[in-house]
Amino acid sequence: MIAVLALLYIFSAFVYFYANKFGYSLLRYMFKRENINIYLSTELIFLIITSLIVFTSQPLNWMVAILMFIHLAGIAWLIVNPDNFYQMAEDSINLDAGLIENVVVITFLIYAGIALISRITF
């Protein structure tokens, strides 16, 4: 299951990377207010997979638990205070869209690395 999570992170990173490379900003698409259901669906998929790993593995896989809490915090922030979330997203993208796209790709790859390292250590 950890390998599936890592592959999903890697797949997401490549989708964001190649969308940006071919001139389309998937990040802008995901952060539009009218696409809240798509964004929440992707976050929920990651939350479900990480929670399955955390709650079914012995001993506790704390590395994947950290990823689970990151996704949970993102969902909670969007549900509790959507105006603040979208303002932050808009400000970040307007600052430097190319840089933010690359940061998202690197973040997904780091998450994949954390998941794979947790598989080795647990």
The pLDDT, as a whole number, for residue 28 is 94
Which residue has tokens 């997904």? 108
SS3 96: coil
Take residue 25 and report the two structure tokens written for it: 């900003």
The ranges assigned to domains in the chain are 2-121
User: Token pair for residue 23?
Assistant: 């001139």
Q: Encode 87-107: b = buried (16+ Cβ within 10 Å), e = exposed.
A: eebeebbeeeeeebbeebbee
Q: Supply the pLDDT for residue 122.
A: 79
Judge whether 49 and 5 are in contact, CB under 8 Å: yes
Q: Report whether 115 contacts 66 (CB < 8 A).
A: no
**Positions of the chain with pLDDT under 50:** none
